Every structure is written in C-alpha cells, then in structure tokens.
C-alpha cells in the first residue's frame, strides 16, 4: 500500500548528526555466508529492513536457524537446506539473485516470486548460469522453481553481467559449497558496480574462502568450507547520502557517525562527488561531516561503479547552479524501476530540465515548483524527492513507504534531522 507524504521544507540550513542503519549490501551477503557456514555466526548491527527481513525469512524457510541477540544482533545457525519452500523476493535484487545459487544446494522444490515489478527484472543470466553449473531450474524470470538435488556440480560458466554485478556476486557467494567450486567469466559490456563484486570477494576471504580475482572479468572460488564467524555490519553509506544531501542543498552541516575510514561500499565515493559539487567534507573520529556551499556546482560524472548514487546526484543537480551530466548508468533502467526515465520524468514534472541519454542524464537547473514526486515503488526515487522538497515548497512523495526497503523509518529520521539545531 502506497503512503503519500508531504516532503518538509527546511526552515534554514540543516544542522544535525544522523546515525544511519547498517548496510543492506553487507547484511544480505553476510546472511547468505552465515547460512552456508560450518558453524553458527553472529551478525552484529545488521540492517533490519524489508530487503533483509525477506532474506532472513527465505533462509529460515530453508531450515536455517535465526535468533535475536540481546544487542540487536542476529544469531544464525546453519543447517542442511531443505525444501519445499516458497521464497518471497519482494523487490530485492539481492534476494532474487543471491539466494537461488544457495537454494540450489537444498533438497526439494523451492519456488521464487516477488512484487509485480520484480517479475520484470532481469533474471535469465543467473538462472541460465545455474543450469550450466548443474542445477535444475524451471523458468527464466520470477516466478521460477528450483528443483533442489542436495548439491551442485559447479565448474566454469561464462555470463554477460553487464546488466548487474549481482549476477557475479550471487554465484560467488555459494560457489565454495559446489563440488568443483565455481569459475565465473564475464563476456560483454563492462560490468557495472564493480565495487560490489570487490565487497563480495573481500567478505568471502574473511570467511576463509579461497578466491582468485587476479584476471580481469574472471573470478574463481575454490571448493571448501565457509567459516562461521562474528560479523560487524558497517553503516549503509548509500543510505547516508540523502541526509548529507540535506546539508548540501541548504548550506548546512550534517555528520554521519561511524563512517569507516576504509570501505568496500560504493557509497564511499560520495565524498569525492560532494566535494566536486562544492561541498566541504571531513572525516574525523566523530564521523563524516559535510558542509554545504552557498550554491552547488554542476558536474560531469561517470557513476558506473556507484550507480546507486544516481538519484541523489540527480536531485542535487536539479538544484545546482549549472548543468550536470551523469554517464555510465544505462544498467539502472533494470533496477527497481527504470531510474533514468523516472528521474527525467519527475524532475521535468517539477519544472526542471532533464534529458535522457543512452547511458544517463543531462540535467539543466531551472526554477522548480511543488507537485507530486512519484517514487515508482523505488526507495531511492523516494529519497530523491525528499531532498528536492527541502528547498521547493509543495513537493509530496507519492509512496514514502517504499523507503522501508532499506531504511526502516525514513520519515522519522528525516523529521528528527530537521528538528536538530
């Protein structure tokens, strides 16, 4: 059910410290690794949002044990995966692409389905790859059924991962449990969001898995155990960007505590992006602090590796003092919605000038007016509307509830931020 929300306009420069929940990308990778491990794991400071609770529920339906720790952690106890099971993917790419390679290790039938738009998201790449590795899969998109045989032969597979890096990560996360491991070769246009694959490789190695990524576009996971361990989930840096953007568009100052000095999250690149647009960014023991300029500067930027930042950058660009060109993000047409078309439509709806290109957007600032900003059931579209609403009166987001995908209470956090001085 959609929930229309009047985006609050800031009364002046925003000054706040905003703790953000854990990373969705790290949490869901951790849950898969914990489910396949050789002993129980503790997942500390996990994100508990729609995407991650869908992942936890799916793993529980396959026989994995979950218990709540006293500090908000998840205690995950692996077990032999068993069907039959029904998996609800919602609109979570990490569930629909990370879980099938793991579920192929189960015994029994596992059926996957999700939200209506999820049925339109590309899936044939991962399903064809599983067939090539020895799994029995009926279907090429949601809904589909895995006929689990208790194991997967594995081996080498060549895929075109130019639509999503999740296809590679999904195969790598479970590859150590395949009889021959897995070697994934990419053939096609460049893989987008490579930092997410680097995150997967790093986490596999932390779990004791041997991974060879020394050859470009080839990843080899050796067969072997996945070690249970104590995992700590970093704050979600991509989810932090709308709050940092609040300081950028109002000339204020926002601090995100717990920002890691070194990270595999693509959201870490936001520091450079904000600086290029005229902001001042500092990292101290207190966290990452952004100070907004008098006027934002337009940029020409390639976001292929950080494409999830596109909606935030587009919102900033619509409020900047000069034009912005966003390149390298053609693949985000296959995300929760066609984000390129959606951003152009909504910026233009408010009186802006946004033009779609083959691989991105050109945004020329114009005075904006209040109107309904459509979220298209996409959490990052919703937060982009909230950013614009800070300085444009009368903006309302038609589905703020979509933000629960990765932020449990975005409206509450937004209101708290605006109430801080």
Answer yes or no: is 339 a known binding residue. yes
In 264-328, beta strands by DSSP E: 280-284, 287-291, 300-302, 324-327
229 is in an annotated binding site: no
**Preceding amide of 84 cis, omega within 30:** yes
- 405 marked ligand binding residue: yes
24 is in an annotated binding site: yes
**Is residue 52 within 8 Å of 10, Cβ to Cβ?**
no
**Sign of the CA dihedral running 92, 98, 104, 107:** negative
Residues 6 or more apart in contact with residue 122 via CB below 8 angstroms: 141, 163, 164, 334
420 marked as part of a ligand binding site: no
Does 29 belong to an annotated binding site? yes
Judge whether 139 is annotated as a binding position: no
Query: For residue 130, what are its two tokens?
Result: 């599983």
Residues 6+ apart with CB under 8 A from 145: 109, 110, 111, 112, 137, 138, 139
Strands 360-364 and 324-327 turn out to be antiparallel
- Name the nearest CA neighbour of 204 among 186, 222, 188: 222
Q: Which two tokens stand for residue 279?
A: 């902001």
SS3 22: strand
- Find out whether 149 is annotated in a ligand binding site: no
Check whether 228 is labelled as a binding-site residue. no
- Half-sphere exposure (CA, 13 Å, Cβ side) for 363? 36
CB burial of residue 215 (10 Å; 0-12, 13-18, 19+): exposed
Q: For residue 187, give the DSSP letter.
A: -
Alpha carbon distance 306, 267 (integer Å): 7
Is 308 one of the annotated active-site residues of the chain? yes
d(CA 146, CA 89): 14
> DSSP character for 394?
T
Strand partners, 251: none
Lookup result for tokens 């090429």: 140
Confirm or deny that 189 is annotated as ligand binding.
no
Closest to 99 (Cα-Cα) out of 47, 147, 33, 163: 33
Q: Is 193 known as a binding-site position?
A: yes
Alpha carbons 333 and 328: distance in angstroms, whole number: 12
Are 171 and 182 in contact by the 8 Å Cβ rule? The answer is yes
User: Is 50 marked within a binding site?
Assistant: no
* 121 annotated to a ligand binding site: yes
Nearest CA-CA partner of 203 in 236, 174, 223: 174
Establish whether 117 is an annotated binding residue: no
Catalytic, out of 234, 253, 306, 308:
308
Positions marked catalytic:
308
Binding residues for phosphoenolpyruvate: 24, 93, 121, 166, 339, 380, 405
Annotated binding site for 3-phosphoshikimate: 24-25, 29, 164-166, 193, 308, 335
Binding-site residue numbers are 24-25, 29, 93, 121, 164-166, 193, 308, 335, 339, 380, 405
């Amino acid at each position: 059910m959609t929930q229309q929300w009047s985006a609050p306009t800031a009364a002046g420069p925003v000054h706040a410290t905003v703790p953000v929940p854990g990373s969705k990308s790290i949490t869901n990778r951790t849950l898969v690794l914990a489910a396949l491990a050789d002993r129980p794991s503790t997942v500390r400071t996990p994100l508990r949002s729609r995407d991650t609770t869908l992942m936890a529920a799916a793993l529980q339906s396959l026989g994995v044990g979950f218990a709540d720790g006293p500090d908000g952690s998840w205690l995950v106890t692996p077990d032999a995966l068993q069907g039959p099971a029904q998996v609800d993917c919602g609109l979570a790419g990490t569930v629909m692409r990370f879980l099938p390679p793991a579920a192929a290790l189960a015994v029994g039938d596992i059926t996957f389905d999700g939200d209506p738009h999820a049925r339109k998201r590309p899936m044939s790449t991962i399903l064809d790859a599983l067939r090539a590795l020895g799994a029995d899969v009926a279907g090429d998109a949601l809904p589909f059924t895995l006929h689990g045989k208790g194991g997967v032969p594995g081996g080498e597979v060549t895929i075109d991962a130019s639509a999503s890096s999740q296809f590679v990560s999904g195969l790598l996360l479970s590859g150590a449990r395949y009889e021959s491991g897995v070697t994934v070769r990419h053939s096609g246009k460049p893989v987008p969001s490579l930092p997410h694959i680097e995150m997967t490789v790093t986490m596999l190695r932390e779990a004791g898995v041997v991974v060879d990524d020394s050859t470009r576009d080839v990843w080899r996971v050796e067969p072997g155990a996945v070690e249970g361990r104590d995992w700590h989930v970093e704050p979600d840096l991509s989810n932090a960007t709308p709050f940092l953007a609040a300081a950028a568009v109002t000339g204020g100052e926002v601090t995100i505590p717990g920002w890691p000095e070194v990270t595999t999250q693509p959201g870490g690149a936001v520091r450079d992006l904000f600086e290029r647009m005229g902001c001042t960014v500092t990292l101290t023991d207190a966290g990452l602090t952004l100070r907004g300029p008098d006027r934002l500067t337009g940029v020409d930027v390639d976001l292929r590796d950080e494409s999830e930042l596109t909606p935030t950058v587009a919102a900033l660009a619509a409020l900047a003092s000069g034009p912005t060109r966003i390149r390298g993000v053609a693949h985000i047409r296959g995300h929760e919605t066609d984000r390129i078309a959606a951003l152009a439509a909504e910026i233009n709806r408010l009186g802006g000038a946004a033009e779609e290109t083959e691989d991105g957007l050109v945004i020329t600032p114009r005075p904006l007016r209040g109107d309904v900003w459509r979220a298209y059931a996409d959490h990052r579209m919703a937060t982009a509307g909230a950013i614009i609403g800070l300085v444009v009166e009368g903006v309302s987001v038609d589905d703020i509830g979509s933000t629960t995908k990765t932020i449990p209470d975005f409206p509450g956090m937004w209101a708290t931020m605006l109430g801080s001085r």
